[in-house]
Amino acid sequence: MTDTYPPISDQLDDLESAQEEGRRKMEWAAQHMPILEVVREEFVDDQPFEGERIAMAMHVEAKTAILVETLADGGAEVAVTGCNPLSTHDDVSAALDTHENITCYAKRGVDDEEYYAAIEAVIAHEPTITVDDGMDLVAAIHEDYPELIDGIVGGAEETTTGVHRLRAMDDDGALEYPVFAVNDTPMKRLFDNVHGTGESSLASIAMTTNLSWAGKNVVVAGFGYCGKGVARKATGQNANVIVTEVEPRRALEAHMEGYDVMPMSEAAEVGDVFLTTTGNRDVIVEEHFERMQDGVLLANAGHFDIEIDLEALDGLAVDRYEARDGVEAYEMADGRRLNVIAEGRLVNLAAPVSLGHPVEVMDQSFGIQAVCVRELVESAEPRSANASGDEPRASDEYGPGVHDVPDDLDKEIAEIKLAAEGVEFDSLTDTQREYMGSWDHGT
């Protein structure tokens, strides 16, 4: 394995001003991340990650950078790259790379070859822990560097698609170290996927197009956590929301929430804006493009850029041009223009103006990431006990496979946040606790 792909500092021309701007963005984010502030203070004092090497593939922007620094300040050597070619902020990447414990390879706009070369460069640091958003590191290690697996304590996965892929891998018996499904915790999913995706996707589309939501027919594909957030926030902007689904209970839920529910083939004819949030592929395809009105906006908030079939759209187009920064117009033979935002990549991160989720939301998600990494290290064999690397370091408590994040870790983060917000809440009395745990108090 060779570490030939250069860190961002060796790739930028005006490095100093990039570092300065990146640091400015990070300072703003840090001011609004009280959870990571508390966790970082604990890590600085305890140095839980001394001797650990953490590999990360995440959206490298200001909020993620605070997580990366928090882990590095806890004593880890951290190597980090992007998890999407369009979501990296080069200035933040450059600022991170100045930390003595951090090497950052993320660069915006890399092609496929460079993207995977950066992943390999991160893996070349021979990680003992992986932190993923979309499972690219876990996949690359299992496929190409299985010899590293015994030295890996475990991993943490940020997003729904990553957790889906990991569970599929686990079902096939192919996942060889423990990974926490950070995405599935209430503190992540009920806030990040719902509020974060809802607010930031709509904001990114509005900023990219300079168009209003009011009175528009907004088609939301998928009524999962992200779709619910998008639908609710679009309603709040006075749009008329139409939901498409494949899961009967979710379709019914959308109906009972008061949204119009219909197949995509019908929605295609009436929608003004289409936003996919399914984590699935081929959600909007040729037959739908053929029915759409002139001027529609097409965007995706799901993890991969496969929800809108751009190849088919390109096949139908007689012309294609950049209508605005971040908007590609595909002109059909009959003159209709279908506008794709951010190349069909997740719109809240990949459009030129996108900033990702609000800071407060990511503070919660990354707070969970941080305590999950701490949990993995605390539960694993110490590095010194296994210096030869012959024995797996992962503990019996968390054997190979996907693991739910322990509830007390999730509650720990909620309590830090509530304290930071100055919100007090009740706790169970002893009698209530006993009652809730009993079965013999009938009528």
Contact residues: ligand NAI, CB under 6 A:
159-161, 192-193, 197, 221-227, 244-247, 250, 277-280, 283, 301-303, 346, 348
Name the strand (E) or helix (H) holding 322: strand 319-324
Q: How far is the CB of 217 from ligand NAI (least distance, A)?
A: 17
Ligand-binding site membership of 301 (annotated):
yes
* Position 143, amino acid: E
Q: How far is the CB of 321 from ligand NAI (least distance, A)?
A: 26
- For residues 239 and 281, give the distance between their C-alpha atoms in angstroms, rounded to a whole number: 26
Helix, strand or coil, per DSSP, at residue 178 = strand
Q: How far is the CB of 346 from ligand NAI (least distance, A)?
A: 4
Q: Is 52 helix (H, G, I), strand (E, B) or coil?
A: coil
**Residue given tokens 């070369």 in the structure block:** 117
Indicate the residue among 23 and 108 with the shorter CB distance to ligand NAI: 108
Angle 136-144/112-123 helices, nearest 10 degrees?
70
- CB 163, min distance to ligand NAI, A: 8
Question: Any known ligand binding at 133?
Answer: yes
- Cβ proximity to ligand NAI: between 75 and 358 the closer is 358
Residue 75 marked as a ligand binder: no
Q: Say how far apart CA 405 and CA 375 lie, in whole Å.
A: 9
Buried b (16+ CB within 10 A) or exposed e, 297-330: bbbbbbbebbbbbbebbeeebeeeeebeebbbbb
Provide the token pair at 321. Answer: 């041009």
Closest to ligand NAI by CB, 50 or 247 = 247
Q: Is 145 marked within a binding site?
A: no
222 carries a ligand binding annotation: yes
Q: Is 158 annotated as a binding residue?
A: yes
Closer Cβ to ligand NAI, 12 or 350, answer by number: 350
In the complex, the smallest distance separating the C-beta of residue 63 from ligand NAI, rounded to whole angstroms, is 12
Q: Which two tokens stand for residue 330?
A: 């595909």
The rounded distance, in Å, linking the Cα atoms of 401 and 61 is: 29
Was 225 annotated as part of a binding site?
Answer: yes
104 annotated as belonging to a binding site for a ligand: no
Separation between Cα atoms, residue 417 and residue 38, nearest integer Å: 10
Identify whether the C-beta of residue 369 lies closer than 8 Å to the C-beta of residue 156: yes
> Which residue, 279 or 326, is less far from ligand NAI as judged by CB?
279
Question: Whole-number minimum distance, CB 329 to ligand NAI, in Å?
Answer: 23
Q: CB 185 → ligand NAI: shortest distance, Å? A: 12
Kind plus residue range of the DSSP H or E element containing 36: helix 34-46
Tell me whether residue 280 or residue 395 sits nearer to ligand NAI (CB atom): 280
Minimum CB separation of residue 382 from ligand NAI in Å reads: 34
Closest CB to ligand NAI among residues 246, 332: 246
Amino acid identity for residue 326 in this structure: G
**Segment holding 232, helix H or strand E:** helix 225-236
372 in a labelled binding site: no
Q: Are 255 and 244 in contact (CB under 8 A)?
A: no
Residue 107 among known ligand-binding residues: no
Q: Is 160 flagged in the annotation as binding?
A: yes
**H-helix segments, 126-175:** 136-144, 160-171
* Residue number, 161 or 208, with CB nearest to ligand NAI: 161
C-alpha dist (Å) from residue 196 to 229, 304, 363: 8, 17, 11
As given in the structure block, the two tokens for residue 438 are 């009993």
Sign of CA dihedral 114, 101, 135, 143: positive
Which residue has the CB atom at the shortest distance from ligand NAI? 224
CB 191 within 8 A of CB 213: no
Considering the complex, state which of residue 90 and residue 132 has its C-beta at the smaller distance from ligand NAI. 132
* Tokens describing residue 51: 């001797």
Q: At its nearest, how many Å lie between ligand NAI and the CB of residue 226? A: 3
Annotated ligand binding at 161? The verdict is yes
Residues at the binding site are: 133, 158-161, 188, 192-193, 222-229, 245, 280, 301-303, 348, 357
Residues at the binding site for NAD(+) are: 159-161, 193, 222-229, 245, 280, 301-303, 348, 357
Residues at the binding site for substrate are: 133, 158, 188, 192
